[in-house]
Structure 1
């Protein structure tokens, strides 16, 4: 079976507004289920592709800090 996970995920959220997208992200993080990780990865990919260099830099700084905090927990 040929399954394009990215296309399926984007198709599932294509009509969502900002509030629904936020709820999707928050729910995925709060549930902590690993099955949600591919979806979050696709959402991050979409954000990354729409970001300018300053936004990417800011995200990388936030990610670096988050990794350090998670590692110290």
Structure 2
């Protein structure tokens, strides 16, 4: 069985509007289920790959600050 998680996640959210994406992210975080983490990783990969250097630096700053708490 050839399971490509990245492709499956992208297929599941393809065409979603901003509200649907937010709902997916919030649900994944609030559920606290480990099985949701790979999907969030795929969504982060999309975000990272489509961000310019300024946005990437901003994301890194937010992550760095969040990890200090």
- TM class, shorter-length: over 0.9
Match of 2:53 in 1: 53
User: TM-score, length-normalised on structure 1?
Assistant: 0.92
Computed over aligned residues only, the root mean square deviation of the Cα atoms, in angstroms, reads: 0.6
Unaligned runs of 5+ in 1: none
- Tell me the number of residue pairs that the alignment of Structure 1 and Structure 2 aligns: 69
User: TM-score, length-normalised on structure 2?
Assistant: 0.97
Q: Equivalents in 2 of 1:8, 1:18: separation in Å?
A: 19
**Aligned-residue offset at 1:13:** 0.5
Unaligned runs of 5+ in 2: none
**Aligned-residue offset at 1:41:** 0.1
Structure 1 segments, 4+ long, off by >3 Å, are: none
Match of 2:44 in 1: 44
